[in-house]
Every structure is written in structure tokens, then in C-alpha cells.
Amino acid sequence: MKATIYDVAREAGVSIATVSKVINAKGKISAERRNQIFAIMQRLQYQPSAIATALTSKQTYTLGLLIPDIANPFFAEVARAVEDRGHQFGYSVIICSTDNKDERVERYMNVLKQKRVDGIIIGTGFDNQTMLEDMSSSLPIVVIGREVSSLQVATVVADDYMGGCLAAEHLLTLGHKQIAVLTESLLISSSRERLRGFRETLGRAGLTLLESNIVSCRNGLEDGKARMIELFRGEERPSALFCFNDLLAVGALQAAKESSIEVPSALSIVSFDNTLLASVTSPSLTSIAQPMDQLGESAVDLLLGQITHGHDAKQRILLRTELIVRQSTAAVQSTSTL
Amino acid sequence: MKATIYDVAREAGVSIATVSKVINAKGKISAERRNQIFAIMQRLQYQPSAIATALTSKQTYTLGLLIPDIANPFFAEVARAVEDRGHQFGYSVIICSTDNKDERVERYMNVLKQKRVDGIIIGTGFDNQTMLEDMSSSLPIVVIGREVSSLQVATVVADDYMGGCLAAEHLLTLGHKQIAVLTESLLISSSRERLRGFRETLGRAGLTLLESNIVSCRNGLEDGKARMIELFRGEERPSALFCFNDLLAVGALQAAKESSIEVPSALSIVSFDNTLLASVTSPSLTSIAQPMDQLGESAVDLLLGQITHGHDAKQRILLRTELIVRQSTAAVQSTSTL
DNA sequence: CTGAAAGCGCTTACAG
DNA sequence: CTGAAAGCGCTTACAG
């Protein structure tokens, strides 16, 4: 069977307390004893049980990561950053893809509670606000990617408002006036902020964003594509489009292609997120970059701050968004609408 | 503090053994007692400690997933399938992105051993064969995506050889004769199999794959792109290209664009994996699909077979690959080389 | 149908 | 510098 601390203690002719001390580099142990014990651990292939350690020390060195879907490139990149930052401090991460379904969120929450994870990063949306309150009262939590107005929680978000402004400025600079927006559910705070920044910037330039040009869709690529095909059939086709994530932009790109509308000459598209997808399409997508790595890293840092230093001042970190110009945007053609 | 089994036992006026039995639906407990105890658990918000349970029952209900990079769409999709299948049976999964570096593999392996995970799915490559042997002798393991000749381990792989054949057949049908291959490291068994299937199929049609047309590259998109730009500069430019993964194909697509070679009219590209990327590029990629969901699911099933039923006949599951025709391939133009 | 007791593999005061 | 002992929160024979 697997060697235990008793086995190495016996071999070394010392107490388990002593072995425990050398493992954890605590107390004062003579150098020779220490080395002797290390040698024995090696020989027995001893791996201290993190389970037993957790039971006594109340730390599992495990984090939970709740996101809508790990197969979504945006969250996969964030997850990678979370993993790396956590690993750096000795933490493992359990992934929980919720599909934004309350039922899945709840099940995962219970699993994470039972496994006694040291903290949870929440990047998923859910309707049940009570759930969040419950969580946050029972263990360290940080929310990423959206605001939680109702509650004091640590959060790290990209500057969505600024992102919306940047997108608008870019399109304005290119001379666009007839502009549409393809958004995810406006129930999500980040979408609302992007829209607000976008609309206000247009407003400052004397343009109004028509309600009929705000298209909301829920199911990603396919749905976005269908909605855009409809839009392109309309009378007053816009010369530019602001999509709230890369997947939606891909849908729009495909819709444009099927409608024989050339991008960017006849239609400019600005996307959001700047995942791998944005650089892979053709034309590649001008996109508002969210710093996904920093999002993950900062989330871990905030969490560890709560876990190890007991920080309870709930911080809020706002990360800068940035315009990445690629090939999907161009100056408006005077002939493009007609 | 958090309620324990003692708290609910005290409240219910029974022993902890009884509470344990109702939690685990073991033994015979009168229905009223059971309900009474459930009510108390609810009231105390009692969540049994999976840590304590694991210490006594020797099961953590946690799986390790070792992959090169969770941010890589292929592995992200596999991970999602692993997560879902595991969750279905009450297992959580810890992600471990190794970047194929032995040092990272080793560190993660130790973490997983210490955390006493019930099993590990290995989708990462590494040079140190001893490591695998060590692992496999100490806990249940299944390897995905590649063959391990040196060792008896459970494996689940896609039919790479068949995939290579399918790619070749498709290009032959379209009349291509001058064909190149863009491959990952040929140290990976799956790459070798793809190449073998491809080459043999060409051979049966009387064509030989020139060594100079087998381009091997290591760093994904950018490297692939650079290597293709070189290739396209050569005298005898191929009319078709078989790329061993979607990322490489994207690189090739970009290289073609920069070299003003039109795809598919002047160059056909067949890709491998059929991740999200294949459907998102323009033109979209004809690709050999690996069943990523099944890969993940079967891996979990094999693992649970070992864990719960003690299966030690190391199974090998071979999954079918499939040709998905999109827009990146077309019949050869007689004028394309010249 | 129910409970007393040992044990899982550690850590942590406390005493020496 | 080192060790005895209690305790973390469960499960599992075993006895009744």
C-alpha cells in the first residue's frame, strides 16, 4: 500500500510529529535528521496525503472556477490564466461549465462546498441572486466579467463602457453614420455597459443609435447569423456593425458573405473580446480586446488575498480594454447604401 | 462554524453512525427518522465534508486531466466532454495544462497524487516514458489521442490512419497530384499515422509524396504560416495541402492569402480535427473530424471502469474519423501550376 | 433498526 | 531539538 507518515517515521526511528515538521519546514530539525528523513521519503515514494492535510489544516489548495463553458475560447483563455496563476501558488482548479443554467450552477456550488475548496471564481451568470449571497457568506468569492450591484463582492471586470466608446470612436473616425449593434442578452451588465459607451459616444457626435438597429440574440454564432441576415434584408442597411463578442461577429461575417455584402468595403464590423477567433477569420476582425490573462490572474490574486490574508475589503479591479484594428473595418463608401 | 455530522446527530438525538447511514442511503433506517434527519441537515445547512469522506472511504471523486493547453480549442472541447461525463457520475475534474513540458507534467503528477485523485486522463505528450509507467502502476490511467507502445495502458484514439486515408482520397477525387503536407512533430504517434494513411493512399493511386513536400513545424499557427510562405515561393508549388490540425491550416490559409494564392481555386487545403476554427475561417476548412466529445466521454468511461469495477484489462478504443467537406477544397485547375 | 468504537493520515499545541 | 496525544469529520465492521 501507499506509504504513510507512520511508515517514514518508523523507518527513521522518529515520531510522526518530527516527520510532519520536516515536510512542512516547520520547527527546528537538525540538518542530518532532515536529510535522512528526506531520503527515506524518497525511497518509500512517500507522497503526503493532501486529504489528511486538508482535514486538519482546513485548506484544500483547490479553487473552483465557474464559467458558462470551457469550450468557449474566451473562457478557455481565462481558465488557462487562472490555472497558471493558481498553480504558481500551489492551488489546483476544478472547472465547472454551467451553461448559465441555475440548476447546473447550484449542483456545482454544492460539489465545491462539499469538497471544501478554498475559494471560487465566478464567471457565469445566473438568475438566482440568493445563491450568490449564500456563497459569498460561506467562502471567499470573486466575480469576473460582470458587476454585482446587489452585493459586496470582490470583482474584476474589463472596462466595458470604455470598450463601447472605443468601438464607436473607431467607426466614427471611419465616417460611419448608419450603425447597428449585435448584442448578447442585455440582462448581463457587461452588455449594457458596452451599449451605453457605444451609444453615448455616438451621441456626442450627434448620431443616435436607432432602437431597430439594436439586435439582441441569445444563442451565439448561428442565432447571430440568422438575425443579421434579416437585418441585411432591410431597407436601410447599416454600413457598420458592432458585435458584442467574437462568436457573434463570426456569425455576422457569415451572414454578410451569404448576403453578398463585402466586408469591409460594404460593411465594417467591430467585434469584442479579441479571442483567437478574431485573428483567424477572413477578413480578420477588428476587435475590442479584453485582457483575458489579466482577468484570470487578477481574479486569483484577489481570491488568494481573501484566503491567505483574510482581506475582506471587497476590491474591484477595472482592466483596460483596447482597440485592435484588423481587416474588418474600413472607411465608409459613399455608395454603400442606396 | 460549519455544521458537522456531530451537530446533526445531536439535534436529531441519534448517533453519527445513523446520520451517516441516511446520508449514504445505507442500512435500514425508518422513514420518519430519515425525514427528520434530512430536515435537520437542511436547517443546519449541513454539507458533508468530502475531505473527511475521502479520508475514510479512499475515494475523492476527483479526476485529473493532463493536456497540453486548455486554451487550445481542441483540448477545450475534449475537456468539456470529460467534465460533463465525469459530473454525470459525481466526479470533478482538475485541469492541468502542461505545455508538453516534462517539468510541468511532473509537478502536476505529484499534485494529483497528493490530492489522491481517483484517476488521470493523459492527453499530453512527454519524453519521459518512466513517468508514465510510474503513474500507471500507482493509479488508474487512460491515455487519449496517442498510442503508447511501450506500455499496457487503456487508450482512446481517433483513427488517425483512416483520417489520413480520407484526406488523400478526397484530394485524389478532386484530381490533385502535387500535394504537400504540413505536420506537427512526427514524434507524436498520431502524426505518424496520419502521414502513413495519407502516403499509402496516394501510393495506391500511383502517386508518391515527395519528402520535400513534407513540412514539419512545431509552433502552431505562426510557424506553420512561415513555413508555408517558403513553400509557396518554391518552383513546384503544390495544388493541394494536407494540414495536421486546424491551427496549422489557419496558418496555411493566411500564408496563401499573403502570397496571393486563392483558396480553393489555386490551392486546396484539407485540415484535421474539425474544431470550431474550421467552421469560422473564410473559406471554411474541409477537415477530418475527430469526435472530440466521444474522445472525452470514452476516456471517462474507461477510467471509471477501472476505478469502480476494477477493470484491469487495458482496453483500447478506436474512434472513427470523418471527412467534413467545406469550402477550402476544389477540383484542381489545370492552370494552377505553371 | 441503532450505536460505540476504531481508524483513515495528517497537524498542532504542549511538555520536556 | 523531539515526542505523546488530541483532534479534524467522516465510514465501517461489529454488537445488540
| Residues B91/B63, Cβ–Cβ less than 8 Å | yes
For chain A, give the percent of residues with pLDDT over 90: 71
| pLDDT for A129 | 78
| pLDDT for B335 | 52
Which of A57, A115, A284 is the best residue to mutate to test the B interface, defined by the most B CB atoms within 10 Å of its own CB?
A: A115
* CB-contacts to strand C (7 A): A 1-2, 4-6, 16-17, 20-21, 23-24, 26, 46, 48-49, 51-53, 55-57; B 13-18, 21, 27-30, 33, 52, 55-56
CA distance B49 to B51: 5
Amino acid at B118: D
Which single residue has its CA nearest the C1' atom of nucleotide C6? B56
| pLDDT for B138 | 85
Mean pLDDT of chain A: 91
Q: Which nucleotide comes closest to B7 if you measure CA to C1'?
A: D9
Interchain pair A94, B93: CB under 8 A: yes
Interchain pair B80, A94: CB under 8 A: no
| Average pLDDT of the residues in B19-34 | 83
Closest CA to A180 of A269, A241, A271, A265: A241
| pLDDT for B164 | 97
pLDDT by residue (tens digit) across A256-266?
999 999 999 99
Interchain pair B280, A283: CB under 8 A: no
Minimum-distance CB partner of A115 among B2, B50, B84: B50
* Whether residue B256 has pLDDT greater than 90: yes
Q: Is the peptide bond before B291 cis (omega within 30 degrees of 0)?
A: no
For residue B212, list its beta bridge partners. Answer: none
Evaluate if the CB of B6 falls below 7 Å from strand D: yes
* Whether residue B299 has pLDDT greater than 50: yes
Strand D, nucleotides covered by protein (CB < 7 Å): 1-5, 7-13
| Residues B270/B241, Cβ–Cβ less than 8 Å | yes
pLDDT by residue (tens digit) across A164-173?
999 999 999 9
Instruction: Please give the domain boundaries of chain A with CATH numbers for all domains.
Output: 5-57 (1.10.260.40), 62-159+291-320 (3.40.50.2300), 160-290 (3.40.50.2300)
| pLDDT for B222 | 84
| Average pLDDT of the residues in B305-330 | 91
Q: CA nearest A93 in B: which residue?
A: B94
For chain B, give the percent of residues with pLDDT over 90: 71
pLDDT by residue (tens digit) across B79-116?
999 999 999 999 999 999 999 899 999 999 999 999 99
Q: What three-state secondary structure class fits B158?
A: strand
| pLDDT for B336 | 43
Minimum-distance CB partner of B51 among A60, A84, A95: A60
A-B CB pairs within 8 A amount to 121
Taking contacts as CB-CB distances below 8 angstroms, the residues of chain A near B62 are 94, 115
* Whether residue B282 has pLDDT greater than 90: no
Evaluate if the CB of B4 falls below 7 Å from strand D: yes
pLDDT by residue (tens digit) across A223-255?
889 999 989 988 888 999 999 999 999 999 999
Closest CA to B129 of B183, B187, B78: B187
* Whether residue B74 has pLDDT greater than 70: yes
- Backbone dihedral angles phi then psi of residue B207, each to the nearest 5 degrees: -105, 150
| Residues B80/A69, Cβ–Cβ less than 8 Å | yes
| Average pLDDT of the residues in B243-251 | 94
Q: What three-state secondary structure class fits B227?
A: helix
Closest CA to B248 of B58, B52, B60, B72: B72
pTM of the model: 0.93
Closest CA to A170 of A201, A195, A191, A207: A201
pLDDT by residue (tens digit) across A128-162?
778 888 888 889 999 999 888 777 889 999 999 99
* Whether residue A336 has pLDDT greater than 70: no
Minimum-distance CB partner of A71 among B76, B95, B253: B76
* Whether residue A126 has pLDDT greater than 90: no
**Contact status of A84 with chain B (Cβ, < 8 Å):** yes
Cβ under 8 Å to B: A residues 256-315: 257, 276-277, 280-283
DSSP string, B45-58: T----HHHHHHHHS
For residue B287, list its beta bridge partners. Answer: B271, B324
pLDDT by residue (tens digit) across B106-136?
999 999 999 999 999 999 877 777 888 888 8
* Whether residue A323 has pLDDT greater than 70: yes
Amino acid at B281: T
What length is written for chain B?
A: 338
| Average pLDDT of the residues in B190-201 | 96
| pLDDT for A335 | 52
| Average pLDDT of the residues in A22-27 | 85
Taking contacts as CB-CB distances below 8 angstroms, the residues of chain B near A253 are 282
Separation of CA A14 and C1' C3 in angstroms?
37
| pLDDT for A337 | 44
| pLDDT for B334 | 65
What length is written for chain A?
A: 338
Interchain pair A73, B257: CB under 8 A: no
C-alpha distance from A284 to closest chain B C-alpha (Å)? 9
Interchain pair B71, A69: CB under 8 A: no
